Amino acid sequence: MTASALQAGVAPGAAPGEALAHALVDTASVLRAGTGRLRVAPTTQVSADRLPALRSQLDRLARALGLPVPELVATTEGLTAPELAVSRRLAVGTTGRAGNAGDAGDTAGPDLDDRAVAEAAHRARTAFPGPPTVLPARDGALLRCWAAGPLDAPAVAVVGACGMPVGLTVNWLALLSSRYRVVTWESRGLFASGEGAGPGAPVDHSVEAQSEDLLAVLDGFGIGRAHALGLCGGAVVALAAAARSKRIDSLSLWHGDWELGDDAPKTTHQRDMESLLAMVARGPKQAAAMHRLLNRPSTLDGLRPDLAHYLVHPYTTPEILYRYGQLNGSLMTTDCRRLLTARQPTLVVTSDRDTTAHPAGSVYVARHLPAAELRNLPAGDHLGAFDAQPHLVALAEEFLHSVTDHPRKDT
């Protein structure tokens, strides 16, 4: 199954409206990020007389899904970067599936009766990975969590990049859950955890608190021990959890974003992100000023179009950007050399073509962890790791098989 198929969530020939319903669920983190009404627009020209019917369909599907209803406007002119990213994913009014305007299929047409709306919403709401389970962290913060796969299989905790919606790791969840009990969660304090909008109360943003969340997720799903698969900044969280708890009995650390002092260089992207996060973490006023800049449509220019609606989540509101600066700033500035005492079997994966997180950091980590092996792949960029391409999944499963050689029930 390809990344695009998983993200679309629908098969060819699906009922009218189903693709749009799936796209609404896929963009829910942005829709629920703030208290204002998000504007969206058709990404291809739509006649003025067709807009009311399209607006009605969008409203009815969003309400059936329990999501804030976006405001459908006639043109993309004046939309912010998050609004444009969501508009492109919804693709309202196109002749292709939502998010894939070039494909034949769902017409996103207006002629849906109440039953069709309810059925489309139900299929979208229950499609993999399904609705989140809200679990308490050890300090009481609420975490949006997911679990899939056989209950008696070895457990894998997928630790995604800080601030990214679950959709960015859904390919890993889907492909690993056929053989493993897979769990994951979204970063504390950055996502609406109840029925309303907004991220709730502020939370502890330390690396220690974020690593404790991994253990709390295991507690919530009744899992005693697990392999931790960390991606990007999630590799830091996974390593920190392993350094503090033997319940993490093995690790795979993919394209880790490491702070190692003078022992490893950083990319231009890493240095720029550190500066950005330090600035917005200074306070709400600084975050609000930077938010105005990041809301410009040009922010999308360097983002993969199929992932942009995930990648813009940390920039949707000034408050979320402020918290993101604190949370991800903690991950990017914590000296990871003090965590290299973890003795669990570890696979470290990077690529010389990663221009986002410098591969030298992963080389250093693999060299200094007591039980690590390094795979420096000849191809593959940073975001490509989230696509869970077959050769990457095969590498992950090969290592998982070597450290979890038989199913077990954890207690």
Same domain? For 335 and 363 the reply is: yes
CA gap 289, 292 in Å, rounded:
5
Q: Assess if residue 388 is contained within a domain.
A: yes
- How much is the pLDDT for 404? 87
CA distance to 161, 170, 237, per residue, from 210 (Å): 12, 20, 6
Same domain? For 287 and 321 the reply is: yes
Which ranges in 76-155 belong to alpha helices (H)? Answer: 81-90, 114-126
Question: How many domains does the chain divide into?
Answer: 2
CA gap 314, 149 in Å, rounded:
29
Residue with tokens 């006639």: 74
Q: Assess if residue 306 is contained within a domain.
A: yes
- How much is the pLDDT for 220? 98
CA gap 334, 35 in Å, rounded:
33
What residues make up the domain containing 36? 3-126
- Write out pLDDT tens, residues 397-407: 999 999 986 44
Measured in whole angstroms, the distance separating CA 24 from the mean position of its chain's CA atoms is 15
Q: Assess if residue 102 is contained within a domain.
A: yes
Same domain? For 290 and 225 the reply is: yes
**Chosen domain end from 126, 155, 173:** 126
Same domain? For 343 and 380 the reply is: yes
Q: Assess if residue 263 is contained within a domain.
A: yes
- How much is the pLDDT for 4? 41
Same domain? For 92 and 182 the reply is: no
User: For the residues of 299-322, what is the DSSP string, one character each?
Assistant: GGGGS-TTTHHHHTGGGSSHHHHH
Q: Assess if residue 192 is contained within a domain.
A: yes
Same domain? For 73 and 154 the reply is: no
Same domain? For 84 and 226 the reply is: no
Same domain? For 384 and 263 the reply is: yes
- How much is the pLDDT for 405? 63
In what order do the strands lie in the sheet containing 181-185?
133-136, 142-148, 181-185, 155-159, 226-231, 248-254, 346-351, 372-377
Same domain? For 50 and 187 the reply is: no
Same domain? For 308 and 198 the reply is: yes
Mean pLDDT of successive 10-residue segments in the chain (411 residues)? 46 75 97 91 91 95 96 96 97 64 41 90 96 96 97 97 98 98 98 86 96 98 98 98 97 98 98 98 98 97 95 97 98 98 97 97 98 96 95 97 66 36
CA distance to 267, 342, 347, 367, per residue, from 371 (Å): 27, 8, 9, 9
CA gap 265, 276 in Å, rounded:
18
**Chosen domain end from 99, 126, 153:** 126
Q: Assess if residue 408 is contained within a domain.
A: no
- How much is the pLDDT for 164? 98
The domain that holds 352 is classified in CATH as 3.40.50.1820
Same domain? For 115 and 196 the reply is: no
Q: Assess if residue 411 is contained within a domain.
A: no
Same domain? For 89 and 143 the reply is: no
**Chosen domain end from 126, 142, 166:** 126
Q: Assess if residue 410 is contained within a domain.
A: no
